[in-house]
Amino acid sequence: MIDDEAVFTDGSDDRERDHIVGSPHADTLLMAYFPRERILVEADVFNPGAAVNQFAANLLENIKKRNLRVDRILPLHGKIAPYSELVKTVQAVTTN
Reported as a single tens digit per residue, the pLDDT across 27-53 is: 667 888 888 899 999 988 898 988 888
Q: Which domain holds residue 21?
A: 5-95
Which pTM was predicted? 0.80
CA distance 71 to 68: 10
- How do residues 57-80 score in pLDDT, each as one tens digit? 999 999 999 899 999 999 988 899
CA distance 80 to 74: 5
Sheet arrangement for strand 30-34:
5-9, 14-19, 30-34, 39-42, 72-75, 81-82
Please report the DSSP string for 74-87 in residue order.
Answer: EETTS--EEHHHHH
Q: What is the CATH number of the domain that holds 48?
A: 3.60.15.10
Q: What number of residues does the chain have?
A: 96
- Characterise 71 by phi-psi region: left (phi > 0), alpha (psi -120 to 50), beta (else): alpha
How many domains does the chain contain in total? Answer: 1
